[in-house]
Amino acid sequence: MNASTEGRISMNNRKKLKKSDAAQRAISWFHDTPGAKVASVAKRFGISVAYAYKLREKAAGKPEANAREGHAALSNEETKALLKSLPTDKGPLGNILDSRATDYGTFADNSRLAQALKRAMADHASNHDRTFADDQWEALEMIASKMSRIVNGNPDKVDNWHDIAGYATLIADRLRGVPR
């Protein structure tokens, strides 16, 4: 191992220790200040907002998102069976929500996956000191939401695939000088 490699390793270790230290301080802050605003804690400790949300849950002693409340994701068949077992007099809004659950999976399952994808992107971007324009980040988050809908619901629903292509096209067009 040469001196250059040693220098990189020790710098990487310092960065990890620094992040770990910031995480521990943020967790302590959330313990001591339960009403603290997540964005202000993220700014104070130099971490992403998404990571700060995760640390707030950890500070509160909440289980990981994928194990939350002991619920496993429902299959499409289970979702349809559950919807059929519910009372039928739900009104127009209930019918719309039932239809969406069939197409996209339950809101809770979809939310868990979408938020996990968004946290992973934010953490990765933060770890690599990456920043994005607001429209780029919004497009990435919307694409993550659409991906979650596809995975949790009906993967043959064409609209989801068109939406993903649309968000990517909006950014590509803006980068080419054609804002929409």
Chain centroid offset of residue 116 CA: 4
Note the pLDDT tens digit of each residue in 65-119: 434 444 566 677 777 777 777 666 678 888 888 888 888 999 999 999 999 999 9
Please report, for the chain, the start and end positions of each structural domain, with discontinuous segments joined by +: 1-62, 72-180
CB contact at 8 A, 50 and 119 = yes
Chain centroid offset of residue 81 CA: 28
Note the pLDDT tens digit of each residue in 129-143: 999 999 999 999 999
At 153, the pLDDT band (50, 70, 90 cuts) reads very high
> Which H or E run includes 84?
helix 76-85
Q: How far apart are CA 126 and CA 86, in angstroms?
A: 43
Q: How far apart are CA 20 and CA 29, in angstroms?
A: 14
